């Protein structure tokens, strides 16, 4: 029979072993996604370039704010020129990214591979992004297909703290988005249904030109009135060659 001290030692070893094993399991899960799941093919990792060295200043985001030069950023709407950088590089609680409080109109930002490939979001493809919001503002996904911007009916909000969300585009419904005014548009008779011709028909997620996000509300200014904040964005999908002549 084990002595009391030996019993305590055995229990302690089991607890430590259990914690260690759990840590290994988590690490393995992060390193090896679900069988068949695509890898990260596009990462929007926000960084502070050398020409934005003043840590007390917020800057309008530019191409150099994305770590990977193979990821091209496109801004839509006048409000995109009023968005500012925010956060601290390398921080988990306040990650470096973009903030929309000073955007006086709705805006969208999208990203695409520099080599012109299209993105296949079908199957087990997904997106993971870090989001923080204030008031009724939400972050919605945006795609560009056949030259048309579309905004999804799924929305993400996280007031007071940054939340990391991973989601699929498979069951998302889409509405046309005006690329200048950043307002939703009618899809015409081709989309005629009981929902008032709103939902875009025949959206092909296997040939997406750009992916990004939109804030359909103007920001309230500095403070906690209303805005969105985006940190790192990871796209788990497949690249497909753009058809010749497109």
Q: What is the pLDDT of residues 149-174, one digit of tens each?
A: 999 999 999 998 999 999 999 999 99
Residue 93 in any domain: the answer is yes
Neighbours of 214 (CB within 10 A): 26
Q: Are residues 85 and 17 in the same domain?
A: no
239 in Cβ contact with 113 (< 8 Å): yes
Q: Are residues 21 and 109 in the same domain?
A: no
Q: Are residues 113 and 200 in the same domain?
A: yes
Residue 45: its pLDDT value, please?
Answer: 97
Q: Are residues 109 and 174 in the same domain?
A: yes
Q: Are residues 122 and 21 in the same domain?
A: no
Collapsing DSSP to helix, strand or coil, 216 comes out as: coil
Q: Are residues 28 and 74 in the same domain?
A: no
Q: What is the pLDDT of residues 193-242, one digit of tens each?
A: 655 678 998 899 999 999 999 999 999 998 888 999 999 999 999 999 99
Indicate the average pLDDT of the chain.
Answer: 86
User: 43 lies in which domain range?
Assistant: 36-240
Residue 35: its pLDDT value, please?
Answer: 61
Within the chain, what is the greatest distance between any pair of CA atoms?
82
Residue 42: its pLDDT value, please?
Answer: 98
Task: List residues bridging with 74 in a β-sheet.
Answer: 110
Q: Are residues 114 and 3 in the same domain?
A: no
What CATH number did the domain enclosing 146 receive?
A: 2.60.120.260
Q: Are residues 121 and 2 in the same domain?
A: no
Residue 185: its pLDDT value, please?
Answer: 93
Q: Are residues 229 and 108 in the same domain?
A: yes
Q: Is the pLDDT of residue 11 over 90?
A: no
Mean pLDDT of 11-35: 37
User: 160 exposed, middle or buried (CB, 10 Å; 0-12, 13-18, 19+)?
Assistant: exposed
Does the predicted TM-score (pTM) go above 0.75? Answer: yes
Q: Is the pLDDT of residue 1 over 70?
A: no
Collapsing DSSP to helix, strand or coil, 134 comes out as: strand
For the chain, the straight-line distance linking the first and the last C-alpha, in angstroms and rounded, comes to 78
Nearest to 102 by CA among 225, 212, 15, 3: 225
Half-sphere exposure of 136 (CA within 13 A, CB side): 3
Q: Are residues 16 and 101 in the same domain?
A: no
DSSP, residue by residue, 115-168: T--EEE--TT-EEEEEEEEETT--BEEEEEETTEEEEES--B--BSS-EEEEE-
Residue 199 in any domain: the answer is yes
- In the structure, what pLDDT confidence band is assigned to residue 243 with cuts at 50, 70 and 90? confident
Residue 33: its pLDDT value, please?
Answer: 53
Q: What is the pLDDT of residues 75-105, one digit of tens each?
A: 999 999 999 999 988 888 889 999 999 999 9
Nearest to 107 by CA among 132, 131, 84, 91: 84
Residue 245 in any domain: the answer is no
Residue 246 in any domain: the answer is no
Mean pLDDT of 115-141: 97
Residue 87 in any domain: the answer is yes
Q: Are residues 146 and 204 in the same domain?
A: yes
Q: Are residues 184 and 84 in the same domain?
A: yes
- Count the domains in the chain: 2
């Amino acid at each position: 029979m084990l002595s009391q001290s030996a019993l305590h030692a055995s229990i302690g070893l089991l607890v430590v072993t259990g914690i260690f094993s759990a840590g290994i399991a988590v690490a393995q899960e992060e390193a090896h996604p679900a069988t068949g799941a695509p890898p990260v093919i596009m990462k929007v990792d926000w960084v502070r370039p050398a020409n934005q060295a003043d840590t007390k200043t917020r800057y309008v985001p530019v191409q150099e704010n994305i770590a990977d030069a193979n990821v091209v950023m496109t801004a839509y709407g006048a409000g995109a020129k009023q968005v500012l950088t925010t956060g601290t590089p390398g921080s988990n609680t306040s990650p470096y990214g973009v903030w929309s409080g000073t955007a006086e109109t709705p805006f969208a930002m999208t990203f695409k591979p520099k080599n012109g490939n299209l993105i296949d979001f079908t199957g087990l493809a997904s997106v993971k992004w870090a989001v923080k919001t204030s008031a009724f503002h939400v972050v919605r996904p945006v795609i560009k297909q056949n030259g048309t911007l579309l905004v999804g009916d799924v929305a993400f909000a996280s007031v007071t703290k940054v939340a990391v969300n991973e989601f699929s585009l498979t069951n998302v419904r889409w509405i046309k988005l005006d690329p200048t005014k950043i307002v939703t548009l009618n899809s015409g008779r081709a989309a005629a249904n009981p929902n008032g011709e709103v939902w875009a028909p025949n959206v092909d997620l296997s040939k997406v030109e750009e992916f990004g996000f939109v804030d359909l509300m103007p920001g309230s200014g500095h403070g906690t009135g209303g805005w969105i904040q985006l940190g790192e964005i990871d796209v788990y999908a497949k690249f497909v060659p753009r058809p010749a002549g497109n």
